[in-house]
Amino acid sequence: MATLFTKIIDGEIPGRFVWRDDRAVAFLTIAPISTGHTLVVPIDEVDHWIDLPADLAGHLMEVGRLVGRAQMAAFSPTRIGMIIAGLEVPHCHLHVLPIDTEADLSFAKADPGVAPEALDDAADRLRAALRDQGHGEHVAASWRP
């Protein structure tokens, strides 16, 4: 059975994509801890990050780094944090998020009530920053891949 993330990747469920290549996607979470909180997900379903092939793990980290640079440009946080938890969905994913303190890395701060317009604005700002940084060929243009 396809995971929730595979359904998003395949366009069965809408997602606010900011990145897509042949191995990974990045889209905003619907319950962000901070503005611009993005999930970097392999297209292939791999449940646990320790089971990723080394080259795919490296690719996900690189996409996370590029998304993080775009977050830094778009939102001007103190740092970019990353969480790999994997308890919510059995499909490996990296949480990449703007932070100002270590306390900002708490899922207790996730907000499932963020207005859709705010999520759209954050996605637009990230896409623009990725384009400005020379990654236009991988910037997702819409809600669907």
The domain locations on the chain are 4-133
Say if domain 4-133 classifies as CATH 2.40.50.1020: no
Return the structure tokens found at 115: 């207005």
Q: What is the pLDDT of residue 145?
A: 44
Residues known to be catalytic: 93
Rounded average pLDDT over 89-114 = 97
Q: Which of 94, 122, 116 is nearest to 14 (CA)?
A: 116
Tens digit of pLDDT for each residue in 103-119? 999 999 999 999 999 99
Report the C-alpha gap between 140 and 81 in whole angstroms.
Answer: 22
3-state secondary structure of 1: coil
Q: How confident is the model at residue 12 (pLDDT cuts 50, 70, 90)?
A: very high
